[in-house]
Homo-oligomer: A and B are copies of this chain.
Amino acid sequence: MTSIRPLLPADRDAWLPLWHGYLAFYETELSDDQTALTWNRLLDPQFPIHGALAIGEDGAAVGVVHWLTHAATWAAEPYCYLEDLFVDPAVRGGGTGRALIAHVTDWARERGLPRVYWLTQQHNATARTLYDKVATDTGLVHYQIALDA
């Protein structure tokens, strides 16, 4: 049975290949400095970015989720943005992704946050089959202006 637990300092070696797998899925590369910064922030109790691992029956990490909170104009409490979600392809379809989302939702509900949201690729039918079961497709699409090119 897969279990979900918060990231710990000793998890870096287990976390790194999941993080790289996630970035590869989005055809993104980040510098080692950025990965180190993100890791430090995930572990810092005062930084608003958080993470959890899915641990398989054999003790290996098979999935990861990162989320953060931010203020919003429609609510007194912050929103919870589930920014990164990745499950080892070898265990997909077995409920790990759903369990990782539930972990974040529980975390947010315990803190009185009004909503959890995320973005996904329009054409990722596999992921959206799961998302359509656990969340609402709001019909909103995402525009971006990159300033760091």
Q: Which A residues are closer than 8 A to B by beta carbons?
A: 9, 28, 30, 33-34, 37-38, 40-42, 44-49, 66, 68-78, 81, 83-84, 105, 108-109, 113-123, 131, 134-148
Contact = CB atoms under 8 A, between A and B. Distances in A.
A134 B72 CA distance: 24
A66 to B, nearest CB: 5
B117 A141 contact: no
- The 10 A-B pairs of least Cβ separation, nearest first, read A70-B70, A114-B148, A140-B142, A119-B140, A135-B143, A117-B144, A40-B40, A116-B145, A135-B145, A131-B143
Contacts of A109: 147
Contact of A77 (B28, B46, B114, B144): B46
Given A120-B141, A123-B139, A140-B119, A146 B74 contact: no
